[in-house]
Amino acid sequence: GAVVSQHPSWVICKSGTSVKIECRSLDFQATTMFWYRQFPKQSLMLMATSNEGSKATYEQGVEKDKFLINHASLTLSTLTVTSAHPEDSSFYICSALGGNPYNSPLHFGNGTRLTVT
Amino acid sequence: DAKTTQPTSMDCAEGRAANLPCNHSTISGNEYVYWYRQIHSQGPQYIIHGLKNNETNEMASLIITEDRKSSTLILPHATLRDTAVYYCIVRVMNSGYSTLTFGKGTMLLVSP
C-alpha cells in the first residue's frame, strides 16, 4: 500500500528557533500534499495544500510567513516552522495524494510532535 | 464538503462486530464517503471509501443507504487494537484534487 514517511517523529526546540519537518511519499508520486495540525483532544485542522512546483495554498488564519512549505519534488514536501513559540507546540501531520485524483484516498504520515520550550 | 454527524463514543466487546454509524444528510451526488481512524499519537489510517455501492476490504465493510444520507462502518471482529477515533468524511471530487475535512469522530473503545 501507499506509504508516507514523516521525519522527525518528535522534536523539541527552543523558542525563536526554526524547525523543518519532512514528508515523503515512498512508493508513489504525490502531486499534492497537505499539512494538518492537531492540538490535544482536538481534531485535525488543515493548514495548507501544496502542489509540486508551485506555491502552497494556506487556510484562513494560517500565517504563510511562519509556516513555510516547499514541495520541490513529487515525493517530498517540507514544512518549516519559523521562529517557533510555545503556542506552536502541536502534532503536525502530512498527507499525500497520488494516483487518480477522483477516487484515491489520502495517505497520512505518522505525524511529528513539536514541543517548543 | 458535506457535514457529518457521528456519535461521540461507542463501546464494543472484543470479538464482536463494531457498527459505527454516520449521518451525512446533505451529501451531494459527487461526494464520496471516506472512513479513517486515528490511533493515539499516530497519523490517520485510511480504512475504506465508497460512493453509492456497499464496499468491503480486508479491514472493514461500508454500508451506504440507498438515499446516501447515512452510512455504517462495520468492523466484523473487533480487536483491542481497533480502539481508536473513527472519522467519517464526505469528500467532493473536483477536477484536480480535494482534501479531507475532519470532524470530531467517534471514539471506539474495544474491551476484553
pLDDT tens-digit readout, B42-66: 999 999 999 999 999 999 999 999 9
Are A43 and B100 inside 8 Å of each other by CB?
Answer: no
Over the stretch A12-56, which tens digit does the pLDDT of each residue have? 999 999 999 999 999 888 888 999 999 998 999 999 998 888 889
DSSP B5: B
Residue A44 has a pLDDT of 94
Scan residues 40-69 of A and list those with Cβ closer than 8 Å to B: 43-46, 49, 51
Beta bridge partners of A76: A24, A73
In the predicted structure, residue B95 carries a pLDDT above the cut 60: no
**Cis peptide bond prior to B112, omega within 30° of 0:** no
Of the given ranges (A68-82, B81-95, B98-112), which has the lowest mean pLDDT? Answer: B81-95
Task: Establish if B50 touches chain A: CB-CB under 8 angstroms.
Answer: no
Residue B102: which of A43, A102, A107 has the nearest Cβ?
Answer: A43
Are B49 and A105 inside 8 Å of each other by CB?
Answer: yes
In the predicted structure, residue B96 carries a pLDDT above the cut 60: no
- B93 pLDDT band, cuts 50/70/90, is low
Q: Closest-CA residue in chain A for B102?
A: A44
- What dihedral angle (degrees, nearest 10) is formed by the CA atoms of A92, A80, A62, B39? 0
